[in-house]
Structure 1
Amino acid sequence: MKPQDIIAGKTSLWIFGYGSLVWRPDFKYRSSEVGYINGYKRRFWHGDNFHRGNDELPGRVVTLIEDDDESTWGVAFEVTGSQVEEALRYLNVRETACGGYITKMVEFVPENKSQPPVQALVYIATSDNTLYLGPASPEEIGAQIAVCRGKTGHNLEYLLRLAEFMRTSCPHVEDHHLFSIEGAALAVVSYMLAAQ
């Protein structure tokens, strides 16, 4: 489904971010809410040969994997008026052209219980994408992240910023996948620094 088909005639749209969007949306928005979506788990199973890696050493970034028993925390951004088209034009380059993500509409549940759930646009990289890397152990993923960098910066920065977001904005949520990879990547970096 193309974003322009989803927003035909809409003057307002929510966009859910669960990776780098949580700290760097880079588009104008009216408001934002921390919250979650159900039925998906966040995994570092997608390759990145542009933002956080290159063709020789692809980085690893997050995508969503369907799982009825899981939920994924992040940030939803409300864009209105001209912001809708501007945000989608930007994200179509950042997430679709350079990242290989497709779009879906999901129900976003704000942490603030006074706010009702809303339908939100989300970008998901699927297993049929050429950049998709699939599962690996936290140690393998952490080692890969520790050494990769792309046009946006180090893959490690991406990992650490996401972990920092979860600790500061969602301290009650235990993201075992994320935190185990963070620990593995930092262990590799410590080893590399000690070996210098």
Structure 2
Amino acid sequence: MIVEAGLEGFMKRNTPEFRLGKRDEMIASAPAGDMIWVFGYGSLIWNPAFDYDEKRIGRLFGYHREFCFWSTIGRGSPDAPGMMLALDLGGSCNGIVLGVKRERAEEELTSVFMREMTGETYFAKWGSVHTADGPVKAITFVANRGSENYAGQQSLEDTARYIAQGCGHLGPCKEYLFNTAQYLEELGLRDPMLRDLCDLVETKFS
């Protein structure tokens, strides 16, 4: 199982104890029920990093998918940064929810929190995700706008340029973009912003 590192950069890294503490906090505050859910909107769709028991398509309201963080290690370098996705305030976001049985949550969510809470990029929060089988409360990793790596909303062309140039120890940044767009479309979902970025990267910046 591949475990992709979380977003990185010039910020301090959270200790393993901090990350596991956040895992424990979220499990302890989980709604009643036998399943704990995690919302996936980027690499968690195609590289979930844990063995889940159930998957549903869903939509999270209150946040949207945005390339709003610099990547200077995993998918870029300090001289040629890439960009990474996060959930930023406003709108809605389609994706998946992955459910793990409560008795297995501590073991299975360890890799998720070790990866997503590497630095100060994200806050872990509970979000309401609407699915065909009804709403679920899911762990969501939302943008920390106070992070030093927060880039805000760039123009579409600038975002495509950064994605096209970025390459780090996890591989090219454009691979991250293409994988996310492809896997969403295979699920019958579409994000026009991602498709426009793919087209720009392939035609203008290839």
Compute the TM-score of the two structures, normalised by the length of structure 2.
0.80
List runs of 5+ in structure 1 lacking aligned partners.
191-196
Change (3 A) 1:45 1:6: same
Compute the TM-score of the two structures, normalised by the length of structure 1.
0.84
1:186 is the counterpart of 2:186:
no
Shift of 1:122: 0.7
Q: Which residue of 1 aligns with 2:24?
A: 4
For residue 185 of structure 2, the aligned residue among 146, 154, 167 is 167
Report if the CA contact (8 A) 2:67-2:86 is conserved.
Answer: yes
Report if the CA contact (8 A) 1:28-1:83 is conserved.
Answer: no
Deviations 1:29-65 (A, max 9, x none): 1111111111211111112233212333322111112
- In structure 2, what is the Cα distance between the partners aligned to 1:19 and 1:138? 18
- Where in structure 1 do 4 or more consecutive aligned residues deviate above 4 Å? none
RMSD of aligned Cα (Å): 2.1
Equivalences for 1:40-119 in 2 at 5 Å?
40-67=63-90, 70-98=91-119, 100-110=121-131, 113=132, 115-119=133-137
Q: Taking every aligned residue pair, what percent have the same amino acid on both sides?
A: 29
Q: Please state whether the residue corresponding to 1:140 is helix, strand or coil.
A: helix
Number of aligned residues: 183
Equivalences for 1:100-179 in 2 at 5 Å?
100-110=121-131, 113=132, 115-171=133-189, 173=190, 175-179=191-195
The one-letter code of the counterpart of 1:38 is F
Q: Please state whether the residue corresponding to 1:178 is helix, strand or coil.
A: helix
Report which stretch shifted further, 57-66 or 96-105.
96-105
Report which stretch shifted further, 119-128 or 145-154.
145-154
Q: Please state whether the residue corresponding to 1:160 is helix, strand or coil.
A: helix
Deviations 1:136-170 (A, max 9, x none): 11111111111212222211011011111232213
